[in-house]
Amino acid sequence: MGNNGSVERRTVLKAAGASVAALGLAATTGCGGGGSGAGDGTVTIRYAWWGADERAKRINRSIALFEKKYPKIKVQTDFQDYVAFWEKFQTQAAGGNPPDVFQNAVGFLRKYDKRGILLDLKSQIDAGNLSLKNFRAGVEKVGQVDGKQLGIPVGSNTMSLVVDEKVFEKAGVDPKQGWTWDEYFAALKRIHDTQKVAGDTGYFSIMYLYDLYLRQNGKAFFTEDGLGFDEADLTEWWADGYNRVKAGIITDPKRVEQDKPKSSLSAGHAASEFTWDNFTVRYTAEGDSSYGLAPIPTTDGRQTGQYLASLMLSASAHTKHPEEVARFIDFMVHDPEVGKIMGYDRGILATTEQFDAFQPSDAPSKAIAQYEKDVAAAGVLGAITPHPAGADTVEAAFLRIGGDMSQGTTKVSDAVKQFFSEAKTALSA
């Protein structure tokens, strides 16, 4: 979950399946432990993250504040784009020399905990070096896996539906909390028939959206140790999506590829797109229309299956400076001035201290904050299911195979079998 929304995530996921190979390259890399110490008691910790230049500028300004408050702790920084970050991290982790503290996401928690890479931060919480107080809507639980605190959220986000407000208004479509999938698909058809534009850019290969649909129906994409649905479930979902592509209600996948790096929504070739709410600032920057956030469709008229996800900070089990790392994480997630600097770059600020300190001035950020308030007030937020090791590779396969299916290069039945085969391999590695 980064700055560029769907574009960044799709780029990243193409490389996700390379993790095992990358780890194999690192047999002689690094020599254990992280950070360093000086004769005067000053220690240096290494902090790595992914993102664009703007995120780096904001983080470096935040680090300057931290080093002013803690002059005996110096922070050495390293950042790349998403793909390069994980390639480098996998090599460092395999060599026993990962960064002391690093940006992380839920799909990687069990993967790297299984390999002994992640520090359980509970000991530092118990020691008073890191606080779990004042997190919004219980988002701190996103970093809790198998009784361990493996990550501390820096921001929160939830799945949303971004709509071209002008097109929806012209078509006479007004989404309300609790609207159903039948109503949503009827709206897409109405938009297609009256406005001569596809209703959606292609919902069926978004793993996190399918997870919401499954949760609405008493299942989930993942259980704690595997997949929570079967081939019949996915066949129905993908066949339905493919039929809507053929009917023109969904943007032609070839057009979606041609529009990149823009979204087909901001390019004017669709009227809506499902994505994480904090990614929505991209559409205003890319497009010429006005864009808003609409509720997730439901099965029963109430439950959306939504939960808060998060970018988070994790620590290395190899660090030589766990106390200093904990103090750094605590500062980065609680300090109000850091909240003002970071804004919603990594999602809606996770703690009340930072959320209250930052007052967004631009319309997209105000809309994102209001959307999360509205979702929380609707009482539909549940708890995210911790992802099993290999979830990142499974997500990449779901996106890739779903895309092939939508273009007609793979039959639905063959695509489903291929996905389950690849998922089984990834989850058993």
10 Å CB burial of residue 349 (0-12, 13-18, 19+) is buried
Does 185 score more than 90 pLDDT? yes
Give me the mean pLDDT over the 46-64 stretch.
95
Confidence of residue 34 (pLDDT cuts 50, 70, 90): low
The answer on 394 and 249 residing in a single domain is yes
Q: Angle at which helices 412-428 and 231-246 pack, to 10 degrees? A: 140
pLDDT in tens, 249-299: 999 999 999 999 899 999 999 999 999 998 888 898 899 999 999 999 999
The answer on 401 and 267 residing in a single domain is yes
The answer on 186 and 83 residing in a single domain is no
Domain membership flag for residue 363: no
Assigned token pair, 159? 């799945």
pLDDT in tens, 225-234: 799 999 999 9
Give me the mean pLDDT over the 156-179 stretch.
96
* 36-40, 120-124, 345-349: segment of lowest average pLDDT: 36-40
pLDDT in tens, 92-132: 999 999 999 999 999 999 999 999 999 999 999 999 999 99
Confidence of residue 343 (pLDDT cuts 50, 70, 90): very high
The pLDDT assigned to 52 comes to 82
Residue matched to tokens 């690094």: 30
10 Å CB burial of residue 68 (0-12, 13-18, 19+) is exposed
Alpha carbon of 293 to those of 38, 50, 174, 215, 374: distances in Å?
51, 26, 11, 21, 11
The answer on 146 and 293 residing in a single domain is no
Domain membership flag for residue 80: yes
Does 31 score more than 60 pLDDT? no
The answer on 132 and 72 residing in a single domain is yes
Domain membership flag for residue 120: yes
Does 15 score more than 50 pLDDT? no
Give me the mean pLDDT over the 190-195 stretch.
97
Give me the mean pLDDT over the 419-427 stretch.
97
Domain membership flag for residue 376: no
Alpha carbon of 288 to those of 62, 165, 175, 265, 266: distances in Å?
34, 11, 22, 10, 7
Q: Name the domain count of the chain.
A: 2
Percent of the chain whose predicted confidence (pLDDT) is above 70:
91
The answer on 212 and 68 residing in a single domain is no
Domain membership flag for residue 313: no
**pLDDT, the chain, mean:** 90
Domain of residue 87 covers: 6-153+318-358
The answer on 27 and 145 residing in a single domain is yes
The pLDDT assigned to 23 comes to 35
The answer on 185 and 229 residing in a single domain is yes
Residue matched to tokens 């992380």: 104
The pLDDT assigned to 4 comes to 40
Does 218 score more than 50 pLDDT? yes
The answer on 260 and 390 residing in a single domain is yes
The pLDDT assigned to 35 comes to 60
The pLDDT assigned to 36 comes to 65
For residue 336, cis peptide bond before it (omega within 30 degrees of 0): no
Confidence of residue 8 (pLDDT cuts 50, 70, 90): very low
The pLDDT assigned to 37 comes to 65
pTM score: 0.83
The pLDDT assigned to 38 comes to 63
Domain membership flag for residue 107: yes
The answer on 37 and 107 residing in a single domain is yes
Does 22 score more than 50 pLDDT? no
Domain membership flag for residue 41: yes
Give me the mean pLDDT over the 348-377 stretch.
92
The answer on 183 and 107 residing in a single domain is no
The pLDDT assigned to 14 comes to 42
The answer on 195 and 67 residing in a single domain is no
CATH of the domain at 79: 3.40.190.10
The pLDDT assigned to 208 comes to 95
Give me the mean pLDDT over the 175-200 stretch.
97
Domain membership flag for residue 324: yes
